[in-house]
Structure 1
């Protein structure tokens, strides 16, 4: 069914692409830029971070946690390196348009460090992080100080002078912020205008949302500041200094959770004393939402380390849940639960603003395996539900296949759609589809800072 859907039934989804994804760089035979002291350690660290993210398809958080040149920086320099790296990923589509336009021929694949120097230099220009002379001088020094990039110092100088010395920044197509392989998919499914709105969200910084588990929202707002959103979340530009000492945090009344991510658990409608399964529980935000209702919650996850995070979060919020480590197929059982929340592992393309590298280190060709797992989890969840039980399926994905094929699998497993009603999702009525499912796009609530993209569907077991 999966292969037929993707490759034969319809051309609605743009899957017909050459298997060599231009956004997934060839692996450079484990060669890495030399880790040596440089004239500008912050910019050197930023260039290394970008190289490791894009050449090894790793997340920025992973690389920051392991990269020595970044860890060795002082507080101010570390913040500067992080700002450069995040700006590079945020503007990467435009950076590569400018870089490719300035090059007479493509950089060789072995020029991975020089490419990172150029990309991070252009990012500083587009994000107004440094004046042109500093960008050029430091970039040339970095190239000269590195054995691999030494021979390209002249090219680095010439290219950056061509780009960053212009007082008026070039007018670039907003949709070019997205990698071409993803952009074409979104244009096909959502249309050009919505694709532009999605891309534009990359240029705005992700806010911090708090889900209020207990207490008066106004009192908690008085402690943290921020704005109460239509769904009840508290939105902040950033967490205030010393927030862990604030009463609401210390008492476990709030958790950090994107406003869109808080919706699936609410739509499940958990009641006190019901047996509820959070099937893919880590890191635990939805588990805590469910436990706060007084329901008997079982949190199931395959990853022991991630399940440990659930335990830590439950301890901080003073909530209880039964934790089980293992696969859903082996541990979920049959006819056990009144309701199940299935927040399934997915492509996570809906988090493109908070995980800036996500579209650059992933490929649509990864989707079939992901979807196969989602379908299997859906069948397992259907078996684990009691008769007349409820199931909410959610993915933080923009990909239509991760919605439509999961819905089809649920119906095949004996579930029927339970339409989500407008009054259940105040302020997000626009997200409700004709069939009663929800498709939240990143530009919704853009005047308030946007949202993570999500697909949500609710089912009943017949």
Structure 2
């Protein structure tokens, strides 16, 4: 379906890129959003994410209104329209543009009447009201139910069904900040995000966007002024900024040159400093040992589905085993860069135990000289710590405040390691 240069047209093209093309939004958005002005790019991004959070509820509403499943392009268009109506958009405009989008593609033009009939036949009000929230895919839901139970997983799904809030990490001594609610952990949760670059303190570099759960990793590492610290797998750089703001001598390492450009931009905006290195951690070697290392390892990103609702549609779990092996290699390599008595915080934005609790247990078994350290972290409830001393964060924590990203993190202290 030929998407028009409108927010709705771009959102439709993005939904199809995910659902039919198997692309992540990160892969598809640069090209498909390029023709739009900035406000329309933002609106298209919101629309596609809202739709991907509602695929199952939309299909439940559509099923009794369709004699047979329409082509994927038309189904995507109907899901988008239902989502817009559910969000309170004017029905007349939603229906008219949905019909126009159907007519714009010769492959679907003959079904424009169907689109019109289905949408005009909906009752007034929110067409998705009362529908159960979307479930996680089976490959992910089953191990999570096994790990934490159905009630916990249902809580995660409820949080992931909503628009995630925007959290900020504030620079030490920040004086100009947007309106928001202070979270127990020290992050600031915005009441209304809007255009971030227009908010107080942005130009002065007094804060940066970072989920409250992600911000806890640096607090667990507890860097001290003057320490030599490595941020391995550093992009997009929120943790690098935290480390630099704490006064550490920071090396930021990442394999992606494009993503490290963003790190450099954020360092410049905040006036913070770090040595930026583009290299593969499996090949790179430092010029001396580090006092502390933060390893935010590549992972399935299953803890960030509330922010990336495309992931359940483009992943099937087949990549997890390879990621677990890579994480173990990175842990071992980073441990070799620590000075005696140094510390490593390993973390992943995953809710899968094999990328967290299992990884910690395996590392302790491989390295008898390791021990798990503990830091008293503000806002962290006792039940979030695991029996081995790791910190398990789940999307359903702080559900009444909007939840948090799913993370696992552990502080490993190298007392001996064969040295």
TM-score (ref. length: structure 2): 0.88
Q: Partner residue of 2:57? A: 94
Alignment of 1:161-172 (within 5 A): 169=128, 171-172=130-131
The one of 186, 197, 201 equivalent to 2:144 is 186
Q: Partner residue of 1:123? A: 83
- Post-superposition Cα deviations, 1:177-233, rounded to whole Å, max 9, x if no partner, equal 4334433333232211111111111233222222122205xx44xx41211111111
Alignment of 1:155-304 (within 5 A): 155-160=114-119, 169=128, 171-174=130-133, 176-215=134-173, 219-220=175-176, 223-239=177-193, 246=200, 248-304=201-257
Q: Partner residue of 1:52? A: 17
> What is the CA-CA distance between 1:98 and the residue it aligns to?
3.2
1:143 maps to 2:97: no
Instruction: Give the secondary structure class of the aligned counterpart of 2:344.
Output: strand
Maintained 8 Å contact 2:61/2:128:
no
Maintained 8 Å contact 1:271/1:293:
yes
Maintained 8 Å contact 1:214/1:254:
no
- How far, CA to CA, are the matches of 1:124 and 1:130 in structure 2? 8
- Post-superposition Cα deviations, 1:226-282, rounded to whole Å, max 9, x if no partner, equal 111111111113346685574x43343322211111111111111222221111111
- How far, CA to CA, are the matches of 1:99 and 1:239 in structure 2? 32
1:449–1:327 CA distance, 2 compared to 1 (3 A): same
Maintained 8 Å contact 1:125/1:164:
no
The one of 291, 297, 321 equivalent to 1:344 is 297
> What is the CA-CA distance between 1:303 and the residue it aligns to?
1.2
Instruction: Give the secondary structure class of the aligned counterpart of 1:328.
Output: coil
- How far, CA to CA, are the matches of 1:245 and 1:160 in structure 2? 38
The one of 381, 397, 406 equivalent to 1:444 is 397
Instruction: Give the secondary structure class of the aligned counterpart of 2:211.
Output: coil
- How far, CA to CA, are the matches of 1:426 and 1:240 in structure 2? 27
Instruction: Give the secondary structure class of the aligned counterpart of 1:365.
Output: coil
1:85 maps to 2:48: yes
- How far, CA to CA, are the matches of 2:288 and 2:135 in structure 1? 47
Instruction: Give the secondary structure class of the aligned counterpart of 1:457.
Output: strand
Q: Partner residue of 1:34? A: 2
Maintained 8 Å contact 1:121/1:139:
yes
> How many aligned residue pairs are there?
414
Maintained 8 Å contact 2:231/2:240:
yes
Which of 95-104 and 335-344 deviates more?
95-104
- Post-superposition Cα deviations, 1:407-462, rounded to whole Å, max 9, x if no partner, equal 134221445342435x3242433311222111111121122222111111111113
> What is the CA-CA distance between 1:94 and the residue it aligns to?
1.6
1:91–1:164 CA distance, 2 compared to 1 (3 A): farther
TM-score (ref. length: structure 1): 0.81
Instruction: Give the secondary structure class of the aligned counterpart of 1:376.
Output: helix
1:65 maps to 2:19: no
1:414–1:328 CA distance, 2 compared to 1 (3 A): farther
1:147–1:282 CA distance, 2 compared to 1 (3 A): same
1:88–1:384 CA distance, 2 compared to 1 (3 A): same
> What is the CA-CA distance between 1:44 and the residue it aligns to?
3.0
- Post-superposition Cα deviations, 1:123-181, rounded to whole Å, max 9, x if no partner, equal 223333232x654444334323311112333443454456566877563333x343344
Maintained 8 Å contact 1:211/1:233:
yes
